[in-house]
Structure 1
């Protein structure tokens, strides 16, 4: 059964929530009296459709249905999750939460995107709401801070994991939760550095992104400092650098006054730094960089990469067809080259993913490899037939040409969404004993499954291009 999310408030955060749910197969109903809400949400969705699927090597579920409503009650009726993302005014939130509580189903989770208010403040007038504070862009960054009644937070966490997010439940409520308190500390210090003429906005940003920002993405603060302590670890680090906390470095307990002069100074420096790019261009630059870094983190399972891996493992496989679909994914921006289309090396990478998936289908999966058996590639032949660009969806079908003895001879077709054949990859593999690193027969079970595919595919026409030498005319 398709789940439903209701989004109350369709700004940047509300639009991000809508995209996160919609692209994970949920139906999404939006309520926002702003006449520009539909246009703003569609702009966020354009970015999300380009970025989120590029994190995964398996296809996300088919998009849910998106609807817009002029009536709040109509939007929230039947929703499993209601997310409020209205401006940070407590009286407004109380009014909206009251309307939601009267119209929502009894079992619906009602979350607030508030970055500062505590649950005790949000529920003061009887609403059953919890803090569900995300981070922009919501459709890419997995963290959601949950604060509130434990049973509701547990239900919320289970639903959030379904859409690939990382719920972090706070042990106790506190103003601004966890992450924004850390960001506030850096923000305050940065304002002083600009006001006192120590650094410009650009220089501060360079200090973050060229240094500790890169470390934090994969290890956070405490693990980074543990390494800084050397072999003696955290205790040594604290003994060595702890006394510095008493030195008058920081102005965290004070805030510079937001005078017109300071606002003009910071805004002017920000314009000089990034004003040559539109907000949409900056968002796409941010998203492309995040996708690249998150995909790198997937390889080690560190940080948010582990969350993406866990989510992908639970995504359904494509429905079986005569020729099995062994890849169904979106092309990430990082796979394109200076010509604007997918680099030839990634055509091979997609075919390798198809081979790996087919190996899993015949039982030569990770457990089989760990037990000492695998298939090694002997030869590939690629035909590049059509360009593929970032954001395009590619499906790969796999045909078995031969599956006798130690041999596995496959033919992969790389197909675009409209059915255009973009490439073919013919690949020959031999089964190997991982102990001796020499060719050897596969297990009886794997051999039987492979031979079964080979027999089923024997009646299919021989694919165009099989055995084709390099340079032969098409």
Structure 2
């Protein structure tokens, strides 16, 4: 079991703790704040509800979380140490000195700093090459980007190991090859922030109007395509050169006050704060976090379906998770065939719930359909087989809803084959949360020749796999609820 030490349990530290913990790492937290355990607990509640739903593959078992009164105790033996203390350089230097006095020499020490360069963090350190910037974005447990900023002091092998570790957590490590104040992303944010301050100060727009301009327009485009690729598309068939030729002259126009920053006077602070209260004050911070998480999960899962942007990162993470799970391979890799076979293991994502606050009935069908697909793969009806011209079509389905499932619930489906012979395949799926039976799904499928779209006999390999399962499961009792709508043969 790998161990991560989190130094500083605020919003960012809590997000790091959740990211590591829910990916199977043990997590030790050091923070002298007496409220740290409560604050991290609240962040974890949100993370447990939302992060698992990003994955369509089973996550590893959650690691162990512990809180420590001594810095040395928290970092001793840790594989990864993440510093997330306030942005004061002298404080960070003090923390690094304490960390390096107690940690392994090969541990990775990452800093969440949004502004300091790694060379500044490494000043005076016992082992400067052990320290690098690993700057996340809030919420750390959902957003994939981590800016990895290094110097010549950092051994390339250590940097590679850091990037590999972050990738294994489902993150997207962006290696910033040349250090600069505020790295890459925050420099863009700072530019937008300065322009927004002027728009508010000059009475051109309110805080709400500025936010609407971002989230209703270019913010959505940036989320899936970034800046340059968006502009490339804007150039049409002629591409980026046409775009630059058409809009390049605008760089000389007086469109921005970017180099001229307004003073943070009491009047400006009060104006912005008042407008922000009017815009968002109806919701508590926790409610706003949940609204944010709902939207992020829905957007990222939509991108996942397209294999685009952050969704492509999620798909790659699912592939890694599946490789290490029991939901892979054919009939020889399943294990004990004499019991109902595990055909699905996942969390209920936020976008599977409805206005009643529980799993939508259509998503039960989606889950049972995924279980049928997995069973088809087990018996040999996989992507290659389907490409060769054979598949199964569902003729009948019957679902019983027995208990509620909520967002974040970890569900499993186990499948019993009632009939598996010739062109007929009759499956009975049972969905559980722990030991609690949530629903059953009964499906009757027919093997079909995709060229004629008519029922046909399956391959001899599929027939043999079904025979093995049929013999192994012959002693299982006929499941309760089966045959109510789909007639039991014989």
TM bucket normalised to smaller: over 0.9
Say if 1:80 and 1:363 are closer, same or farther in 2 by CA, change over 3 A. farther
Q: CA deviation at 1:378?
A: 1.5
Report the Cα distance in structure 1 between the residues aligned to 2:56 and 2:466, rounded to whole angstroms.
24
> Superposed, which structure 2 residues align to 1:288-303 within 5 Å?
288-303=294-309
Q: Using the alignment, how far apart are the partners of 2:452 and 2:187 within structure 1?
A: 56
Distance (whole Å) between structure 2 residues aligned to residue 442 and residue 20 of structure 1: 45
Q: Is 2:466 aligned against 1:466?
A: no
Offset of residue 318 of structure 1: 4.1
Mapped partners of 1:212, 1:111: distance in 2: 32
Q: Which residue of 2 aligns with 1:139?
A: 141
- Distance in 1 between the 2:77 and 2:459 partners? 51
Instruction: Identify unmatched segments of 5+ residues in structure 2.
Output: 328-334
Is 1:394 matched with 2:411? yes
Contact 1:201 1:269 (C-alpha < 8 Å) held by counterparts: yes
| 3-state SS, counterpart of residue 403 of structure 1 | strand
Q: Which of 427, 434, 443 in structure 2 is aligned with 1:427?
A: 443
Tell me which residue corresponds to 1:220: 226
Q: Which deviates further from its counterpart, 64-73 or 329-338?
A: 329-338
Cα deviation, 1:271-313, whole Å, max 9, x if unaligned, reads 0000110101000110111111111111111011111111111
Q: Distance in 2 between matches of 1:424 and 1:24?
A: 29
Equivalent residue, structure 1, for 2:331: none
Runs (5+) with no aligned partner, structure 1: none
The answer as to 2:118 corresponding to 1:119 is yes
Aligned mates of 1:180, 1:446 — CA distance in 2? 55
The CA deviation string for residues 129-152 of structure 1, in whole angstroms up to 9 with x for no partner, is 000000000000011010112332
Q: 1:445, 1:171 → 2: CA distance?
A: 52
What pairs up with 1:15-30 in 2 under 5 angstroms?
A: 15-30=14-29
CA distance in 2, matches of 1:219, 1:431: 41
Residue 457 in structure 1 maps to residue 438 in structure 2: no
Is 1:161 aligned with 2:170? no
User: How many corresponding residue pairs?
Assistant: 468
Shift of 1:256: 1.0
Structure 2 partner of 1:52:
51
Match of 2:421, SS? coil
| Map 1:59-458 → 2, pairs under 5 A | 59-126=58-125, 127=128, 128-148=130-150, 149=154, 150-315=156-321, 316-318=324-326, 322-417=339-434, 419-458=435-474
Pairwise CA distance, 1:226: 1.1
Q: Distance in 2 between matches of 1:115 and 1:147?
A: 11
C-alpha distance in 2 between matches for 1:356 and 1:310? 20
> Structure 2 length as normaliser, TM-score?
0.93
CA RMSD of aligned residues (A): 1.5
Is the 2:50–2:407 Cα contact (8 Å) retained in structure 1? no
